Amino acid sequence: AARLRDLAGPTIFSEMTALAQAAGAVNLGQGFPDGDGPAALLEAAHAAIDQGLNQYPPATGLPVLRKAIAARRAADHGVEYDPETEVVVTAGATEAIAAALIGLCEPGDEVVVFDPLYDSYGACLAMAEVRRVPVLLEYDGTRFSFDPDALRAAVGPRTRLILLNTPHNPSGKVFDARELALIAELCVEHDLIAVVDEVYEYLVYDGLRHLTPAALPGMRERTLSISSAGKTFSATGWKVGWACGPAPLVTAVRTVKQYLTFGTGTPFQAAVAHGLTACMDWVEELRAGLESRRDLLVAGLRTGGITTYPSSATYFLQMDARSFGTGDGDALCRELVRSAGVVAIPSVALYDDKKAGRHLVRLAFCKDEELLAGAAGRLAAQA
C-alpha cells in the first residue's frame, strides 16, 4: 500500500545487526542482552512445556499472568487493575503499541509523540493513517527535555492521544514528576488518552525512579500502560508483553490483538507470571549490573575524549559523532564497523527532526563487560 512504501526496507536494528554479523563486529546496536534471564524463569518455561501448556492461551492472556501483572502495578505504583477486564497480554510491547494505535484512533486523527521515537511508533501510526505531531527532546547542557509551550502547541482539535515512552529509548531519559504533571494536565484539559510505553520501567539508574502517568490525579481512567518481559527478564525473544488500563482502553487493544495474533507463547506467559512474582530480586541485580556497565562504557569513551550524553535508564546511551570529526552519525556508524569493529545505531533513524538527530549515535551497554571495555577502547582510539 502507498502509505507503507517508506517502511519496506529492513528496520535500522535488523540492518545494523546484519552488518555486525557480516563483519564479525561487536554489536552495540540492537538492544538485546548477552546473558539469559534468571534460572528460575527458564525452569518455569521448561516446566510449563512439560506440564502441557502448549496450546492456545486465552486471547487476553493466561489468568495467572494477568493477576501477576496487576499485582506488580499495585505494588510498584499503587494503581489497581482488575485482571479480568483491565489487563491484556500481547505479543511483546510491540503488539500492544500497534493494537492500541489501531484500536484507539480514527484515520486522520493526530497523535503527539516525543522526538526521537521508537521505530515501531511511526510505522504503526502510518498503518493506522494517523498523523504524528512530534515534540522535540532537546539537550540543554544537562539533560534532554522538551519546551512546555511546544507540547501545548502540539495539541489541537484532532489530537486523540499522547504517545509517551518513559524511560526513553534512545536517550535514557526518565521523564520527571514535573514533566509528567504537564502531560497529565494537557490530557485532562483536552480529554486525551495517554499511551505510555514503559518497557524499561525497571532499568533505571542514578537513584531515579520510574513514575507512571497512570498514578497521577485524573489519569488512571485515561492511561494505557504498556510493558513487556523482554527487558525486565532479559528475554527479548519470548515476546510477552501487556497493557493495563481502564476497561474501555484495554477492550480496544484486545479487539485488535485477538485478530492480529489471538495469543502467543503460552509456556512463556506462565514463566513470566512466575518471574513477576518470584524473580524481582534478580531484576534488581540486573539493574545494578547495567548501571555499572553504563559507567564502564562512559569511562572508556572518555579516555578518547568522546562526548557522551547522560543516560539514567534503559540499555542505551548516546555519543556525539562530532568527537570523531564528523557531524554525520549515520556515516560514522558505517565507518566504525570497519575501523573499530563496533556496530552502533545512528540515532537519526529514530528522529523525526533529522537535523536534530544527525550527530547522535546510540550505543547499547547491555553486553558482556570485557566486550564492552574492548569496544570502548577501540572507539576511543578512533576519536
Residues that bind ligand GLN (CB under 6 A): 11, 13, 30-31, 169
Binding to ligand PMP by residue 236, rule CB under 6 A? Answer: yes
Residues with Cβ within 8 Å of 114's Cβ and at least 6 positions away in sequence, in order, are 134, 135, 136, 137, 146, 164, 165, 168
Query: What's the Rg (C-alpha) of the chain?
Result: 20
CA distance readout (Å), 306 to 149, 319, 358, 380: 33, 7, 16, 7
For the CB of residue 103, give the shortest distance to ligand PMP in the complex, in Å: 17
Binding to ligand PMP by residue 29, rule CB under 6 A? Answer: no
Q: Which of 27, 169, 232, 311 binds ligand PMP (CB under 6 A)?
A: 169
Instruction: Check: CB of residue 139 under 8 Å from CB of residue 319.
Output: no
Q: Is the dihedral of CA 305, 309, 312, 317 positive or negative?
A: negative
Beta bridge partners of residue 225, listed in sequence order = 196, 244
Residue 61 or 116: the one with the smaller Cβ distance to ligand GLN is: 116
Instruction: Check: CB of residue 88 under 8 Å from CB of residue 242.
Output: yes
For the CB of residue 231, give the shortest distance to ligand GLN in the complex, in Å: 8
For the CB of residue 35, give the shortest distance to ligand GLN in the complex, in Å: 16
Partner from ligand GLN, ligand PMP, none contacting 30, C-beta within 5 to 8 A by type: ligand GLN
For the CB of residue 242, give the shortest distance to ligand PMP in the complex, in Å: 9
**Distance between CA 130 and CA 169 in Å, rounded?**
22
**Distance between CA 235 and CA 230 in Å, rounded?**
4
Binding to ligand PMP by residue 269, rule CB under 6 A? Answer: no
Partner from ligand PMP, ligand GLN, none contacting 13, C-beta within 5 to 8 A by type: ligand GLN
Q: Which of 17, 60, 159, 165 binds ligand PMP (CB under 6 A)?
A: 165
Residue 228 or 308: the one with the smaller Cβ distance to ligand PMP is: 228
- Per CB under 6 A, residues contacting ligand PMP are 31, 92-94, 118, 165, 169, 197, 199, 228, 230-231, 236, 239, 241
